[in-house]
Amino acid sequence: MNTNTQLDSIFTSQLGEIHEKWGWLLALGIAFILLGTIGLGMTFALTMVSMLFFGFLMLFGGVFQLVQGLGCRGWKSIVIHVLVAIAYLICGVIIITNPLLASEIITMMIAAIFMA
């Protein structure tokens, strides 16, 4: 058995169906490269969309946190749970109403974390 057949058997055993359908994986990679290139041309719009998405995630997270916090009767930290939920809701509304300011603040927070 030469090294090429050993290498092929290793690839086949490890990759399974991906080895047989490599064309789809290549097409997916090319599509991601094209979408990334298009995204580099419209960074402002993608920033605004991602901030709105993040704001709605925080809003929904705040609602679910509030429902879960109020549903846990007899638990000692209901107040903390509700306060965190209210903070999520307030931050979600702020991000949705002013996504440009939110993107600047989040960028500065990430930079401060990296500098620390």
Q: Roughly what angle, to the nearest 10 degrees, separates helices 43-71 and 99-115?
A: 80
pTM of the predicted model, to two decimals? Answer: 0.69
4 pLDDT above the threshold of 70: no
Residues 35-84: tens digit of each pLDDT:
999 989 999 999 999 999 999 999 999 999 999 988 887 777 888 889 99
4-19 mean pLDDT: 69
Q: Of the given ranges (66-70, 84-88, 104-108), which has the lowest mean pLDDT? A: 66-70
Measured CA to CA, the distance from residue 99 to residue 105 in angstroms comes to 10
Q: Which pLDDT belongs to residue 75?
A: 74
